[in-house]
Amino acid sequence: MDDYERLLWWLFAGSVGARSRTMIVYALKSQPSNAQQLTKRLGLDYTTVRHHLSVLEKNRMVVAEGEKYGKVYFITDSMEAHWASLEEILKRSRPTKRGE
């Protein structure tokens, strides 16, 4: 497992905000958006979206273009290149029902 995959585990499977961050990156993969657009599309609180965008940006999962409230966020090339790893992590980290 490389450093990037360990980071993916931490961001998307091993922390409290993993579900929100997962929703955000899937939404951005589908369509680059600003924080307000993500808020409306995902039904999350604006401050929650801004917080997770900041975490994702600091960890080079997303990149922003523009300034202030008009910033549009995009998935980074590195995140795109590791997308299959993210999906595998999400599949492995999902809770399963007893007996499965």
- One-letter amino acid identity for 81? A
Residue 71, CA distances (Å) to 10, 57, 58 in order: 26, 12, 15
> 45 exposed, middle or buried (CB, 10 Å; 0-12, 13-18, 19+)?
exposed
pTM to 2 decimal places: 0.90
Tell me, what's the pLDDT at 1?
A: 76
Tell me, what's the pLDDT at 62?
A: 98
Tell me, what's the pLDDT at 96?
A: 52
- Contact call for residues 49 and 35 (beta carbons, < 8 A): yes
- Contact call for residues 39 and 45 (beta carbons, < 8 A): yes
- One-letter amino acid identity for 34? N
The secondary structure element, H or E, covering residue 69 is none
CA 83 from centre of chain = 11
Ordered by where they begin, the domains of the chain are 3-93 (1.10.10.10)
Averages of pLDDT over runs of 10 residues in the chain (100 residues) are 92 93 98 98 97 97 92 97 96 64
Ramachandran angles phi, psi of 91, nearest 5° = -65, -45
